[in-house]
Structure 1
Amino acid sequence: MGSAVGLCSSPRAWGCDWNIARLLCFAAISWVLMTQMEVGAWTYHYGDKSDYSWEVARNFCRSFYTDLVAIQNQREIAYLNSVLPHHRTYYWIGIRKINNVWTWVGTSKALTKEAENWASREPNNKGRNQDCVEMYIKRDNDAGRWNDERCQKKKRALCYQASCQSSSCSQRGDCVETIGNYTCDCYPGFYGLECEHAVKCPALAAPGRGGLNCTHWHGDFTYNSSCAFSCETGFVRNGSETLECTALGQWTGLPPLCEAIKCPMLDSLSRGQLNCSHWHGDFMYNSTCSFSCETGFVRIGSETLECTALGQWTGSPPLCEALKCPVLATPGRGQLNCTNWHGDFTYNSTCAFSCETGFVRNGSETLECTALGQWTGHPPHCEAVKCPVLDSPDRGQLNCTHRHGDFTYNSTCAFSCETGFVRNGSETLECTALGQWTGHPPRCEAVKCPVLDSPDRGQLNCTHRHGDFTYNSTCAFSCEMGFVRNGSETLECTALGQWTGHPPRCEAVKCPVLDSPDRGQLNCTHRHGDFTYNSTCAFSCETGFVRNGSETLECTALGQWTEHPPRCEAVKCPVLDSPGRGQLKCTHWHGDFTYNSTCAFSCETGFVRNGSEMLECTALGQWSDHPPLCEVMRCPKLRGLEPILMNCSHPLGSFSYGSVCRFRCTQGYFLNGTSRVRCQPDAHWSDKMPTCQEEAAPYFKQVLLYMGGGAVALVALLLTGMLIALLIKRLSDKEEEKTLLNPTSDLGVTGVFTNATFDSNL
């Protein structure tokens, strides 16, 4: 309570405005004594009177305790849920969204996925401003779980008070919170209640012929102490340069030794002796060795060598060599052949000299090395053979390479000529071993171009500066009237012996090339070349085609034809129409009703073609025949004589296709045959013409007079059969007559019987 009262005297310390501070101070003073709990690592504190926003709740916890509570484990959550009283607004804890990351504010560490303890369907972050976290206590469901809320809402503060301080455990271990206190978990290498002691390693001493330099961080030869070893000059360390005391109280290796440095072993000299003194062992640091040679030989190198601290001798071992004469060199352009007994150019060596081809010796041929180290004479030299001096040619240059002196053996001289001139003779001469050149000096002559002729139908006019058709000659070309030049007007002879272009030609003026017209021929006469000035071309057309345009064209001096080329067009025949009661089908090869067009004619059913089936348009513009007609088919004429009565319908003409004739008999006769015939498309009637027969009753009466009563029964039976047959026939005829009289018959035409009546009694 004292700390709360103290804060009321300076409300700005809470990080809020004056009115909020007054409310916080009043709430802090008026609270019932805070209920205190202990569990695990620290103590918890909560109030039971007032609710605060998250910021104010945190300022309160940081003012009186350490901070808002940070949940460590599930056991801690279970404990808090068991001891804290239920409150309708629940409790703020120390988690807040910072830069869109849920963060423990006490440690500024992000909340890990493993440590999350959200209630179901949380966090939902409604309105994107639920940045603070509350903890459910004694809730019916999700007890001990978290929920994100708006930071301005009012809830109870849940604080903790830590036991560990920054100076705990001597800063040599981790401070572990316990109930109301802490323990120290010391880092490797330290021990004690406050980790105040460091682990020790055995003390070290400097090696013989060496030194020791140590650095102690936590006391002599303790954890993390490091010791560096060194050796005196001429001695080398055998072992690690530096050892370090580990957390186990052991050095990282064994102490090294200092051993004398060794130099390479020396051998006695050929033709000499070796004498050595050793202070630290054979051929060790500070050993000395002296050398001497036999009579007649001299020492080449130091007389005495010493082994240095670097393990190297102060020089290379000397050699014992025979006395030498000055080295002889092979003369330039010569050879040297020597015989050596004790080494090259030593006592008693002899050397013979000779010269290459083209060179002669100047001096002694043989020299010998004497006991005084001198030759019996001076070495000779070889001199090159000389050729006569050469001069530059007229209109040319001379460029010589002298290898052994001016105009001597192997000298080469190259000759060149000025631009537009060519060399007549060898390009290069060489001085031979006999003192003569390989040929005579050349001359420079003007370059020649090929001789030009006047072009056909043209003239040539040339100017020559250095001779006919030579370098710098110019030639101009012109053509006769009516011809044009094809090529350059002027050519010049270049330094390469070529004209600046090809000689031009005089060509007749050209007209556009003509092609044979389609379905025609072209016949031309060319006087000066195809389709050129004065060419004439005649046009003709194939059979069945006629020319549309001029027959002959001529190429004028302007390169134009006198007319446009004609065309060959197909001959036309008169246009054909389909015949009445028929069809027309044509094939046109060169246009409608033109040459080679073919037209086929056909007629409708019941009509026959009168004329050719196929017509063709000829080359004369006429059809191969007169167009045919479609005429109706006709059946043979029928004649009806009494007692037969006939009535016919002729829709397309007398007895023609579609005509129908109906028959009947006069009274006292019956019809024997069909009652109706029709003219068919093949010009035949559909049936034979019927006949009329007399009725049978009178005939049978006469028969009965001669026959007895015994025949009556037979006659009656025959009559009955005949009457039935006639009745069936009469009924059939009546049905056929109904069909003929029906207006929906085949041709739609009906006939009416005249001068006849139908008898209903048989």
Structure 2
Amino acid sequence: MGSAVGLCSSPRAWGCDWNIARLLCFAAISWVLMTQMEVGAWTYHYGDKSDYSWEVARNFCRSFYTDLVAIQNQREIAYLNSVLPHHRTYYWIGIRKINNVWTWVGTSKALTKEAENWASREPNNKGRNQDCVEMYIKRDNDAGRWNDERCQKKKRALCYQASCQSSSCSQRGDCVETIGNYTCDCYPGFYGLECEHVVRCKNLDPGPDCSHPLGEYSYNSTCKFLCQEGFELQGLDTLQCLESGNWTAEAPECAAVKCPALAAPGRGGLNCTHWHGDFTYNSSCAFSCETGFVRNGSETLECTALGQWTGLPPLCEAIKCPMLDSLSRGQLNCSHWHGDFMYNSTCSFSCETGFVRIGSETLECTALGQWTGSPPLCEALKCPVLATPGRGQLNCTNWHGDFTYNSTCAFSCETGFVRNGSETLECTALGQWTGHPPHCEAVKCPVLDSPDRGQLNCTHRHGDFTYNSTCAFSCETGFVRNGSETLECTALGQWTGHPPRCEAVKCPVLDSPGRGQLKCTHWHGDFTYNSTCAFSCETGFVRNGSEMLECTALGQWSDHPPLCEAVMCPGLAAPGRGRLNCTHWYGDFAYNSTCAFSCETGFVRNGSETVECTALGQWTGSPPLCEVMRCPKLRGLEPILMNCSHPLGSFSYGSVCRFRCTQGYFLNGTSRVRCQPDAHWSDKMPTCQEEAAPYFKQVLLYMGGGAVALVALLLTGMLIALLIKRLSDKEEEKTLLNPTSDLGVTGVFTNATFDSNL
């Protein structure tokens, strides 16, 4: 009891105030009055003299024992209820509500269903703050059960002395107290009564770099894998031995690094060499282009160890011809199949009204990058030469040469004379003037007004709208004059023509493109200045050209009308030993094209029979393969000998097998069979039967010379028949062994070699 007295001399050691320390010291001094219950190495201790609050009771237990009792199962509860004496205030046990969870304070573990033993309708937190637990010992009702209580209440302390030590369970598991002993709950990867054994995994083949902290190929061993340059791991690069005795995954393998798959460029070809698989490390691919196209990029690419090609795939670009310009006073209309002014582009030339073409109408860009000729010229048409009228003057404006298309000639008269006839003549696109030359006469004219969407500009020499007065008409941008540009007051008092109107410039009427639609907005009349037209295409077709056109002030659309062209799919070719039959509705391998595949005799299709080009430019499936038909394998066992040739593969269509027997046996059945297109042999395999010669020898001994002659005759006939059959078989063999003239024939005898005399 010296230790108890020592604690009382220093109450601060309890971590509580003086009054609590006095109570604890009293309890320590009363140690001799405590009752002990010892069960093996784990013992229970309780006080029978004083009651404490829960905290003081716990400090008491922790000072002299391990802690307030921690109950693990119902058996332990029954034991405590049977051995402890009844006390009116009952006993504190080592469980408390922490963060709203009932927790064993001695082990810091949450209460389990196995150990739970609440009294009826408990815990109820009656009066609140009931965070500690008492145990009813030998109570009339609910004996051995628990009740939640306020921690400040005074009750007896129920302590326990633990049997687990720091070295228990090899420090590889949790030490679990039991009545009179303890058990080890081993950590993952360990087993045994004291967790002394380590789980092992199977050994790995030599090669990986491994570390074994707990023993060779044991729990927590790690192995790392590496591959040579150009190869990469298929699987995890690091494996670890798990608690189950299994590795985290199967050992990985080294596979060649893959580069992105390459495809032949448009208008070109692709030829590849693969050493470790399609488009893998060290694969090399060469590119070529069709006639009229030139390669833009590297000729050859190689797959590197990084899974990248040594460069970008090249393009096959059409050869370019010199760019052509529109003609002066003419138009240029080109069709470009492979890009502007590229190979196969065609350009047609036309001239404006009043001009005529001198030279070729159409030029084409050749595979040499040259046009088939020189661009033409547009020259203005000529009208007859005009003369000055009597009593008047002639004034001409020549835009394209004297008296040519669009030349205008104005006539005037002397003072006192007015013109009788047109004031102005113009050279038309037909090479004729708009009228006859006028005469000069005196005149007065009516007043003129400005046209709608136009302006009027007049010159009056002798007063408003009198003799020699001239009036010019003009229109706003996008409008053209319908009538004479200039009027002059003639000698008859009339203008040389009617005042003109300003009308919206007209563009050519547009139609919806084939497989497409047209939607227009017209501000000044159908297909006139400022009209806009939008183009769209049906599903499976794409627009080649501008989406929107606008009618300009020159009466021309802002671009050529577009076309709706079918979406293209990649070109297909017949697989080996097969045929390809396609139906193209909108062009080769275009939208809605369908292609059917079939195979030669003796071959069967592996894959789809038909594919179709979709609106996305993709086929509905991959092209199939034609695989050779195979017959059941044959085996030759003595005394039968077999020799086979396989032109298309082992025991496949066209394979021929010959048979013969070892000495002392003869062949019963056909001497050769052939694998047919239906994967069946042409006949059953023959058998070998023992010859009858020994029997004939015995007969000859008894029958004498006459019998010898008879037997010789019979044998001679059999040999002749056998020879005829053998020659016939050889002719058949030539046919069977050569189903296709360009295939090699190979054969290996089974168990023996044929006699060269047969």
- What TM-score bracket applies, with the shorter chain setting the length? under 0.3
The alignment partner of 2:713 has SS state of helix
Say if 1:307 and 1:194 are closer, same or farther in 2 by CA, change over 3 A.
farther
Q: What percent identity do the matched residue pairs reach? A: 97
Structure 2 counterparts to residues 436-475 of structure 1, below 5 A? 444=502
Residues 755 and 271 from structure 1, CA distance in 2 versus in 1: closer, same or farther, beyond 3 angstroms? closer
Q: CA deviation at 1:660?
A: 155
Unaligned segments of structure 1, at least 5 residues: 456-518
Cα distance in 1 for partners of 2:603, 2:672 equals 22
Shift of 1:120: 3.2
Structure 1 residue 81 displacement after superposition:
1.2
User: What are the equivalent positions in structure 2 for 1:63-82 lying under 5 Å apart?
Assistant: 63-82=63-82
Displacement of 1:231 in angstroms is 40
CA distance 1:198–1:29, change in 2 (3 Å) = same
Structure 1 counterpart of 2:490, from 407, 410, 432: 432
CA contact (8 A) 1:46 1:159 kept: yes
Match of 1:160 in 2: 160
Distance 2:73 2:681 in 1: 120
Equivalent position of 1:626 in the other structure = 622
Could you report, residue by residue, the CA deviation over 1:505-535 in whole angstroms, capped at 9, with x for unpaired residues?
A: xxxxxxxxxxxxxx99999999999999999
Q: 1:584 to 1:678 in 2, by over 3 A?
A: same
Match of 1:229 in 2: 287
Cα separation, 2, equivalents of 1:425 and 1:365: 13
| Cα pair distance change 1:712/1:628, threshold 3 Å | same
Structure-2 separation of matches of 1:634 and 1:262: 54
SS at match of 1:699: helix
From the superposition, tell whether residues 583 and 672 of structure 1 become closer, same or farther in structure 2 (CA, over 3 Å): same
Find the aligned partners of 1:220 and 1:668 in 2 and give their Cα distance: 55
- 1:740/1:750 contact within 8 Å kept: no
Shift of 1:12: 2.4
Tell me by how many angstroms 1:247 deviates. 38
| CA distance, structure 2, for counterparts of residue 741 and residue 159 of structure 1 | 100
Q: C-alpha distance in 1, partners of 2:299/2:655?
A: 142
Shift of 1:75: 1.1
Change (3 A) 1:194 1:340: farther
Change (3 A) 1:342 1:238: same
User: Relative to structure 1, is the Cα distance of residues 196 and 553 closer, same or farther in structure 2, using a 3 angstrom cutoff?
Assistant: closer
| SS of equivalent residue, structure 2 residue 749 | coil
SS at match of 2:709: helix
Task: Mark the CA change 1:327 to 1:732 in structure 2 (over 3 Å): closer, same or farther.
Answer: closer
Using the TM superposition, give the Cα deviation of residue 62 of structure 1 relative to its aligned residue in structure 2, in angstroms.
1.7
Which one is further off, 27-36 or 718-727? 718-727
User: Would the aligned equivalents of 2:421 and 2:496 in 1 still touch at CA under 8 Å?
Assistant: no
How far does residue 93 in structure 1 lie from its aligned partner after superposition? Answer: 0.7
Q: CA deviation at 1:361?
A: 49
Q: Is contact 1:245–1:251 with CA below 8 Å preserved after alignment?
A: yes
**Structure 2 CA distance for partners of 1:191 and 1:693, relative to 1, 3 Å:** closer
CA contact (8 A) 1:674 1:688 kept: yes
The change in CA–CA distance for 1:347 and 1:166 in structure 2 (over 3 A counts) is: farther
- Residues 189-215 of structure 1: per-residue CA shift (max 9 Å, x gap): 435564344349999999999999999
Distance in 2 (alpha carbons) for counterparts of 1:600 and 1:230: 29
CA–CA separation in structure 2 for the residues paired with 1:449 and 1:379 = 34
Q: Which one of the candidate residues 527, 540, 545 is aligned to 2:541?
A: 545
| 1:412-457 per-position Cα deviation (integer Å, ceiling 9, x unaligned) | 99999328987426999999999999999997599999999999xx
- Whether the 8 Å contact between 2:656 and 2:673 is mirrored in structure 1 is yes
With over 3 angstroms needed to count, the CA separation of the structure-2 counterparts of 1:721 and 1:573, relative to structure 1, is same
Out of 327, 333, 340, the position equivalent to 2:385 is 327
Q: Could you tell which deviates more after superposition, 359-368 or 108-117?
A: 359-368
Provide the secondary structure at the position in 2 that maps to 1:19. helix
Given that 2:590 and 2:613 are in contact with CA atoms closer than 8 Å, whether structure 1 keeps it comes out as: yes
How far did 1:153 drift? 1.8
Q: Which moved more, 1:647-656 or 1:66-75?
A: 647-656
Does the CA-based 8 Å contact 2:319-2:367 persist in structure 1? yes
Asked if structure 2 preserves the Cα contact closer than 8 Å seen for 1:136 and 1:142, the reply is yes
Structure 1 residues 372, 118: CA separation in 2 closer, same or farther (over 3 Å shift)? farther
Q: Deviations over 1:343-364 (max 9, x none)?
A: 9999999999999999999999
Shift of 1:157: 0.3
Distance 1:34 1:389 in 2: 142
What CA deviation, in whole Å up to 9, does each residue of 1:372-427 have, x standing for no partner? 99999999999999999999999989999999999999999999932898742699
The CA deviation at 1:142 is 1.9
Alpha-carbon shift at residue 713 of structure 1 (Å): 193
Contact 2:507 2:527 in 1 (8 A): no
Alpha-carbon distance change, 298 to 53 in structure 1, aligned in 2, over 3 angstroms: farther
Output the CA distance in 2 between the equivalents of 1:426 and 1:122. Answer: 115
Cα distance in 2 for partners of 1:41, 1:216 equals 75
Residue 156 to residue 396, structure 1, CA distance change in 2 (3 Å): same
Alignment-derived partner of residue 562 in structure 1: 558
Structure 1 residues 94 and 691: alpha-carbon distance in aligned structure 2, compared to 1, 3 A threshold: closer
Task: Provide the C-alpha distance between the structure 1 equivalents of 2:290 and 2:673, rounded to a whole number of angstroms.
Answer: 156
1:69/1:419 Cα in 2 relative to 1: closer, same or farther (>3 Å)? same
Question: In structure 2, do the counterparts of structure 1 residues 168 and 421 end up closer, same or farther at CA, with 3 Å as the change threshold?
Answer: same
Which stretch has the larger CA shift, 122-131 or 647-656?
647-656
Aligned position for 2:330 = 272
Matched, 1:650 2:708: no
Greater shift, 535-544 or 413-422, is seen at 535-544
Determine if contact 1:299/1:321 at 8 Å carries over to the other structure: yes
Following superposition, the deviation at residue 73 of structure 1 comes to 1.4
Name the CA shift for 1:152/1:196 in 2 (closer, same or farther; >3 Å): same
Say which is worse superposed, 168-177 or 280-289, in terms of deviation.
Answer: 280-289
The alpha-carbon distance between structure 1 residues 287 and 85, as it changes in their structure 2 partners (threshold 3 A), is farther
Distance in 2 (CA, whole Å) between partners of 1:663 and 1:237 is 59
Aligned residue for 2:393, secondary structure, equals: strand
Contact 2:477 2:553 (C-alpha < 8 Å) held by counterparts:
no
Out of 181-190 and 421-430, give the one that drifted further.
421-430
Q: What's the CA shift for 1:5? A: 3.2
Q: Give the direction of change, closer, same or farther, for the CA distance of 1:640–1:31 in structure 2 (3 Å limit).
A: closer
Q: Provide the secondary structure at the position in 1 that maps to 2:492.
A: coil
Task: Answer with 295-304 or 629-638: which moved more.
Answer: 629-638
Distance in 2 (CA, whole Å) between partners of 1:202 and 1:677 is 48
- Equivalent-residue separation in structure 1 for 2:273 and 2:630 (angstroms): 146
Q: How far off its partner does 1:152 sit?
A: 1.8
Q: Is residue 2:183 matched to residue 1:125?
A: no
Q: Relative to structure 1, is the Cα distance of residues 540 and 680 closer, same or farther in structure 2, using a 3 angstrom cutoff? A: same
| 1:109 aligned onto 2:109 | yes
Q: Is the 8 A contact 1:662 1:676 kept in 2?
A: yes
Change (3 A) 1:67 1:443: same
547 and 744 in structure 1: CA distance in 2 versus 1, 3 angstrom threshold = closer
Give CA deviations for 1:632-653 in whole Å, capped at 9, x if unaligned: 9999999999999999999999
When residues 444 and 194 of structure 1 are mapped into structure 2, their CA distance, relative to the original with a 3 A threshold, is same
Unaligned runs of 5+ in 2: 200-257
Cα pair distance change 1:685/1:269, threshold 3 Å: closer
Which structure is larger by alpha-carbon Rg, 1 or 2? Answer: 1
Contact 1:61 1:160 in 2 (8 A): yes
Separation of aligned partners in 2, 1:113 and 1:211: 75
Q: Does the CA-based 8 Å contact 1:743-1:750 persist in structure 2?
A: no
C-alpha distance in 2 between matches for 1:24 and 1:181: 30
Once the 2 structures are TM-superposed, how far is the Cα of residue 80 of structure 1 from its aligned partner? 0.7
Higher alpha-carbon deviation: 393-402 or 293-302? 293-302
Question: Does the 8 Å contact 2:504/2:524 carry over to 1?
Answer: no
TM-score, structure 1 normalization: 0.28
Inter-CA distance 420–41: structure 2 relative to 1 (3 Å threshold):
same
Deviations 1:244-298 (A, max 9, x none): 9999999999999999999999999999999999999999999999999999999
Rounded to whole Å, the distance in 2 between the matches of 1:535 and 1:243 is: 52
Residue 158 of structure 1 and its aligned partner are, at CA, apart by 0.3
- What is the alpha-carbon distance in structure 1 between the residues aligned to residue 626 and residue 690 of structure 2? 45
2: CA distance, partners of 1:758 / 1:327: 110
> Does the 8 Å contact 2:481/2:500 carry over to 1?
yes
Distance 2:100 2:706 in 1: 139
Preserved contact between residue 32 and residue 49 of structure 1 (Cα < 8 Å):
no
Q: SS where residue 63 of structure 1 aligns?
A: helix
Cα separation, partners in 2 of 1:14 and 1:342, compared to 1, 3 Å: farther
1:573·1:623 contact (CA, 8 Å) conserved in 2?
yes
Relative distance call for 1:123 and 1:217 in structure 2 (3 A) is farther
> How far did 1:303 drift?
48
Shift of 1:79: 0.8
Instruction: Give the deviation of 1:172 after TM superposition.
Output: 2.0
Tell me which residue corresponds to 1:463. none
CA contact (8 A) 1:119 1:142 kept: yes
RMSD of the alignment, in Å?
44.9
1:54, distance to aligned residue in structure 2 (A):
0.9
